[in-house]
Structure 1
């Protein structure tokens, strides 16, 4: 039997998950404001400002003990270090896509990402798929082939985003139950030498825009730490309160918002081949959502018993 007081954390979790995916959905608008900074500069500064923000969050959230435990485990550090490189690549590809008029392809990447994550679970972790999940993977693969054939080129940005984030999630899973703030702190800490080198290179070659384009530009770039950490914390809060199947359904909100932004804000065009590919991707997503609904219903039936 469900008690009324148990509904409050669940309701809060639903709010967190929707806010999280809404923020991620409007990310292209934020990165468009970072011009004329280049993608490498933006990513390097995102790493450093995220680390700075985490340095404030760790004591506020009393995560020092968890951080010390992670820093004392070499295997976890190695996994988070590789995960950091993958998220660096993911951020870089995403910023290249959003600042070069390819928001549509970023949207494609995040439609494919859940399907890639499930496929990686099967191939690497030996997980078993349900019928609807198999159908979704098959249709998604067909969608990519259709795009390659009709569009005349492989959607490298979209596939790069999907696989980098899918592998990132896989490594995070293998790293164990590391709190979100601690994980982001360690990842950005390990990435900071690379980020500092990139900033130094841009400063030495007079390409750094952080201090040369006015106060507003500085604070837009400085806000990258905030816009990185806040939705991540919301996601962590949601993951502990709502079923995984609900997270699986709502995650399609982000690429849908990006698709709408690409059509009506950045005014990207779709030829027939890309429309066909996206329609197939939406069908694949529908299979995964249907599977999540089935799992959610089964979980509710079990709780009533």
Structure 2
């Protein structure tokens, strides 16, 4: 994703996010209408509590998108990767606090190590890692709401995007009317417009996969594969975008990586024990 959004760095970040929301809503709504007819939306709106939960999740993910795209296009790719390194461990804390899931001693060690890493970055790197923490918290809360929202993954994504669709369209129309819009105006032989539209699909596919997963497994186990994404983002930030990664920042990341290793090893051991117990 950082490579993709970097292709659109000539478009203001807010407009990228607005287009992302609009085209994601259109693509998902079209797919649901083809599969289920027009009743998919009425089915959810008839349940006010569920509709309210999806409105909240829509606001959370829109805020997460906005911060992420702005950060990537303003030289903070490494810090965005930190946010997504923290997120799986934050899922563990939320699982304990809200879902009464229990942590093993190694998992507590992992959480403490990650917390030490964040504190180190805060006090030794010279600035509070607010981008990373906001990304981690917003996506963790999004996952929590989607876990409790009893709705099929694609249908939920379609509804939560429709809640932000109207404001996004109005904002884009205002930008275009003022002559500062990124659609039809910024050249590349029309490739800018194509990339803005395809950004909707790039948004929808990972969120659909995430929504399917978060309903089927405990939040304390959801995060292992999530480590791949931030690792790639970190490597891109350092080696492609040329962002600084000195010893102070490396030390903070080392604490977080140590926590992730402890958490991953404990998860593997617990999974092996369950398999052995089932076979016995």
Bigger drift between 207-216 and 61-70 goes to 61-70
What secondary structure sits across from 2:146 in the alignment? Answer: helix
Unpaired runs of 5+ residues, structure 1, are: 1-26
SS in 2 for 1:252: helix
Pairs within 5 Å for 1:37-76 = 37-62=11-36, 67-76=41-50
Confirm or deny: 8 A CA contact 2:96 2:103 kept in the other structure.
yes
* Matched positions, count: 278
Correspondence 1:6-45 to 2 at 5 A = 27-45=1-19
CA distance in 1, matches of 2:221, 2:244: 32
Does structure 2 conserve the Cα–Cα contact (< 8 Å) formed by 1:143 and 1:276? yes
SS in 1 for 2:101: coil
Q: What is the CA-CA distance between 1:198 and the residue it aligns to? A: 1.9
Mapped partners of 1:145, 1:304: distance in 2: 43
Deviation of residue 57 (structure 1)? 1.6
Cross-structure match for 1:292: 267
Aligned counterparts of 2:274 and 2:27: Cα–Cα separation in 1: 37
Residues 172 and 42 (structure 1 numbering): CA distance in 2 closer, same or farther, change over 3 Å? Answer: same
The 8 Å contact of residues 47 and 188 in structure 1, kept in 2 or not, is answered as yes
Moved more, 276-285 or 295-304: 295-304
Distance 1:147 1:63, change over 3 A: farther
| Structure 2 counterpart of 1:197 | 170
Q: How large is the Cα RMSD of the aligned pairs?
A: 2.2
Cα distance, 1:182–1:242 mapped onto 2, change above 3 Å = same
Per the alignment, residue 217 of structure 1 pairs with 192
Deviation at 1:192, TM superposition (A): 1.1
Who is 1:206 aligned against? 179
TM-score normalised by the chain length of structure 2: 0.91
1:66 deviates by: 5.5
Where do 5+ consecutive residues of structure 2 fail to align? none
For residues 244-263 of structure 1, give each alpha carbon's deviation from its aligned partner in whole angstroms, at most 9, with x where no partner exists. Answer: 88753211000001011111
Query: In the alignment, is the contact (CA less than 8 A) between 1:147 and 1:273 conserved in 2?
Result: yes
Q: Distance in 2 between matches of 1:203 and 1:244?
A: 42
- The match for 1:127 is 101
Q: CA deviation at 1:90?
A: 0.4
Cα distance in 1 for residues equivalent to 2:78 and 2:66:
16
1:184 corresponds to:
157
Q: Which secondary structure state, in structure 2, belongs to the residue aligned with residue 96 of structure 1?
A: helix
Structure-2 residue corresponding to 1:13: none
Q: Is the 8 A contact 1:245 1:296 kept in 2?
A: no
Cα displacement string for residues 68-127 of structure 1 (whole angstroms, at most 9, x for unaligned residues): 432211001111101111101100111011111111001000000011121122223333
CA distance 1:246–1:156, change in 2 (3 Å): closer
Deviation at 1:134, TM superposition (A): 0.8
Cα–Cα, structure 1 residues 33 and 229, in superposed 2: closer, same or farther, change >3 Å? same
Q: Tell me the TM-score normalized by structure 1.
A: 0.84
Whole-angstrom CA distance in 2 between matches of 1:194 and 1:259: 33
Aligned equivalent of 1:259, options 196, 219, 234: 234
